[in-house]
Amino acid sequence: MTACGGNGHRDVVIDDVPLELRIERLDQAVFRTDTHHVGSLRDSASVAFGSFFRIYIEDILQGVPIEDPRLPLMLERFRSDPDWSDAQHAADSVLGDLEEQRQRFEDAFKRLHVLFPDSLIPRVVAFNSGYNFGIYPTDSVLGIGVEWFIGPDQPVIGFLAPDAFPQFVKERMRPAMMVPSAMKGWLLVHYTHDIGGEDLLTNLVETGKVMVLLDALLPETEADLKFAFSKEQLAWCEANEYAIWKDLVGKDQLYSRNADVIGRFMNDGPFTNGLPRESPGHVGEWIGYRMVKAYMNDNPDLTFEQLIQLKDPRLVLKSYKPR
């Protein structure tokens, strides 16, 4: 690994990493099984996908228990529902064999293996969740709901209830969002400390660590995709970094453990309450990224393993001088 210049970015050499990743298609196993063979799908999918098939049926689809004799009927109803079958058809048409995404996932996990040699490389499984879950990381599987990444102009996305799927969420349902969204989900689950009950500063720094690591894993991915911002929102953040920080510290919020204060900066939304409507939601993710990036600039020999293990967010705070 080599440090580049003074921008906190780390290049990771992966030429000799012996990793071949594939995307397993649970979505196609479900939707391409002949109607007369749905009854045997439980056995074949359990062999092919292991315990994740149970998770898919019971937790992701929120269906009957996997041993329930009604499972074939439940699956047939799901497969024949016009909304979900249309979404699957769109996924097959727009995303194809997922080869482009497979290559990007493979390179990202190669970089992760270089930075964390003892890390687990998950199985990557694509499924159709009926818009229940876009990303579903487990201990050993990175699950991806393909219907979340078929493009916002697909008719089925237009039919999604606006109270549950506001327009800013629908705008993110693009193929380009799949890899950064999934990698971010994996890192948030496996590379952050438990910060329940901690203050805003801790939330900022822990999320910032993930975003800097995501930068190293996906160096060619545009920043707005990694943050799930629009390009205009990212430009607004870059132009107003000091104003965001001033709002945050000027009201003595940095060490607050109040859930409403933390949620204001960390929760998703069309914009951040109290900031101009040009701002993005979860703007704290970007501020945390800027904080951690400054810390890594000041500590060029710091490894990512050391960064993830860092427990005192005040050390990071000392490096951050927004302008």
Run of H or E residues at 107: helix 99-115
- pLDDT for the residue 250: 82
How many Å apart are CA 245 and CA 315, to the nearest integer?
17
- pLDDT for the residue 3: 38
User: What is the residue-level pLDDT of the chain in tens, covering all 323 positions?
Assistant: 443 333 445 689 988 899 999 999 999 999 998 877 888 999 999 999 999 999 999 999 999 999 999 999 999 999 999 999 999 999 999 999 999 999 999 999 999 999 999 999 999 999 999 999 999 999 999 999 999 999 999 999 999 999 999 999 999 999 999 999 999 999 999 999 889 999 999 999 999 999 999 999 999 999 999 999 999 999 999 999 999 999 999 878 999 999 999 999 999 999 999 999 999 999 999 999 999 999 999 999 999 999 999 999 999 999 999 98
- pLDDT for the residue 8: 43
How many Å apart are CA 250 and CA 248, to the nearest integer?
6
Question: Minimal CA–CA distance to 131: which of 94, 86, 100?
Answer: 86
Question: Minimal CA–CA distance to 146: which of 98, 102, 187?
Answer: 98
Q: State the burial class of residue 37 (Cβ atoms within 10 Å of its Cβ: 0-12, 13-18, 19+).
A: exposed
How many Å apart are CA 128 and CA 25, to the nearest integer?
9
How many Å apart are CA 102 and CA 25, to the nearest integer?
12
- pLDDT for the residue 9: 52
pTM for this model (two decimals):
0.94
Please, which residues have CB within 8 angstroms of residue 286's CB and are 6 or more apart in sequence?
Answer: 211, 227, 229, 234, 237, 280
- pLDDT for the residue 10: 65
Q: State the burial class of residue 57 (Cβ atoms within 10 Å of its Cβ: 0-12, 13-18, 19+).
A: buried
- pLDDT for the residue 280: 98
How many Å apart are CA 133 and CA 59, to the nearest integer?
10
